[in-house]
Amino acid sequence: AYRAAGGYQLLRKVKAGETGIDAIIDTMQNAGLRGLGGAGFPAGKKWNFVRGYPGPRLMSINGDEGEPGTFKDRIYLEKDPHRTFEGALIAAHTVEAERIYFYMRDEYPAVLAILRAEIAALEAAGIVRPGFIELRRGAGAYICGEESAMLESIEGKRGMPRHRPPYIAEVGLFGRPTLNHNVETLWWIRDIV
């Protein structure tokens, strides 16, 4: 349904070079979108930082909303997961990420099932290569909502925050420059770019 309604057309245009990388980053910076996971760091500035470090680069998506009573990301993913995927794929293309790691709260089994099915659909449609988006189940610890603790968990370690600097834009997942956004931040990218 998402593709039938024009979904992934923006991604196609971005990948075809109809909008240049610098123009996309400028648009994001001028739009003023800030991370919606709590820290409020400007998304366009984050993209620029990550691109400034030599690759290979990775991307992570934080779907581990551990704040009591919080379930906004679950709603976005249950209702329209492809909108988040398209935003993520545009962001990944822009920073030249080689892979996306989607860290999702294990307490949302229905959302995990949706994501597995929709990632498989993206692969079957040729929108992403097999394995480009890797779904990782959260460990259930509240601290894993913090970006560096989440990366530690994705790497199979105990989810503990890292000392900074360096920040994950420089030394992130598996030691590579990493762009990290939460689900809601990615959900808005399609309307901005």
pLDDT digits (tens, 9 = 90+) for 114-148: 999 999 999 999 999 999 999 999 877 778 888 99
How far is 169 from 95, CA to CA, in rounded Å?
A: 11
How far is 61 from 180, CA to CA, in rounded Å?
A: 6
DSSP character at residue 53? S
Q: Are the beta carbons of 162 and 90 closer than 8 angstroms?
A: no
CATH topology of domain 9-192: Rossmann fold (3.40.50)
Q: What is the mean pLDDT of residues 29-35?
A: 93
Q: Are strands 97-104 and 57-63 parallel, antiparallel or unpaired?
A: parallel
Position 28 scores a pLDDT of 95
Q: Are the beta carbons of 138 and 144 closer than 8 angstroms?
A: yes
Q: What is the mean pLDDT of residues 69-90?
A: 95
Which of 150, 74, 138, 77 is CA-nearest to residue 106? Answer: 138
Residues contacting 42, CB < 8 A, separation 6+:
29, 32, 33, 34, 35
Token pair in block for residue 53: 């470090």
Q: Does residue 32 register a pLDDT over 90?
A: yes
How far is 5 from 2, CA to CA, in rounded Å?
A: 5
Position 82 scores a pLDDT of 98
Position 88 scores a pLDDT of 99
Strands (E), 39-173: 57-63, 97-104, 133-137
Tens digits of per-residue pLDDT, 5-25? 999 999 999 999 999 999 999
Q: What is the mean pLDDT of residues 26-50?
A: 91
User: What pTM, to 2 d.p., does this model score?
Assistant: 0.95
Which of the four pLDDT bands, split at 50, 70 and 90, describes residue 96? very high
Q: Half-sphere exposure of 4 toward its Cβ, with a 13 Å CA cutoff?
A: 1
How far is 188 from 36, CA to CA, in rounded Å?
A: 10
Average pLDDT taken over every residue of the chain: 94
